Amino acid sequence: MLGHLHSTEIVGALVLLLLLVAALAPSLLTATDPLGIAPADAFTPPSPGHWFGTDESGRDIFTRVVYGARSSLLIGVAATGIGLVLAVILGSLAGLGPRGVDFGVNRLLEVLFAFPGLLLALLFITIFGPGVATSTIAVGLATAPGYARIIRSEIRSIRGSGYIEAATVLGRSPAQIFRRHILPNVAAGLFALATLGIGQAIVWAAALSFLGLGAVPPAAEWGAMLSAGRTYISVAWWLTFFPGAFVVLAAASATVLGRSLQRRNRER
Give the mean pLDDT of 4-14.
76
Amino acid letter for position 25: A
**Which of 146, 155, 85 is closest to 112 using CA atoms?**
146
Ramachandran angles phi, psi of 234, nearest 5°: -80, -20
**Which of 239, 236, 206, 200 is closest to 221 using CA atoms?**
206
Q: What is the mean pLDDT of the chain?
A: 85
Domain positions in the chain: 54-267
How many angstroms separate the CA atoms of 30 and 8, rounded?
27
> pLDDT value at position 1?
46
Q: For the segment 58-116, what is each residue's pLDDT rounded down to a tens digit? A: 999 999 999 999 888 888 889 999 999 998 888 888 888 788 888 898 888 888 887 77
Q: For the segment 171-215, what is each residue's pLDDT rounded down to a tens digit? A: 777 777 777 777 777 776 777 778 888 888 899 889 888 988 888
How many angstroms separate the CA atoms of 114 and 193, rounded?
21
pTM over 0.85, yes/no: no
Is residue 266 predicted with pLDDT exceeding 70? no
Residue 4: burial class (beta carbons within 10 Å; 0-12, 13-18, 19+) = exposed
| Contact predicate 155/184, CB 8 Å | no
Q: For the segment 105-160, what is each residue's pLDDT rounded down to a tens digit? A: 888 888 888 777 778 888 888 888 888 889 899 999 888 888 888 888 888 877 76
> pLDDT value at position 246?
94
Q: For the segment 12-53, what is each residue's pLDDT rounded down to a tens digit? A: 888 889 999 998 999 899 888 998 888 998 999 999 989 999
Would you tell me which CATH number, out of the four given (3.40.309.10, 1.10.3720.10, 3.30.470.20, 3.20.20.10), belongs to the domain 54-267?
Answer: 1.10.3720.10
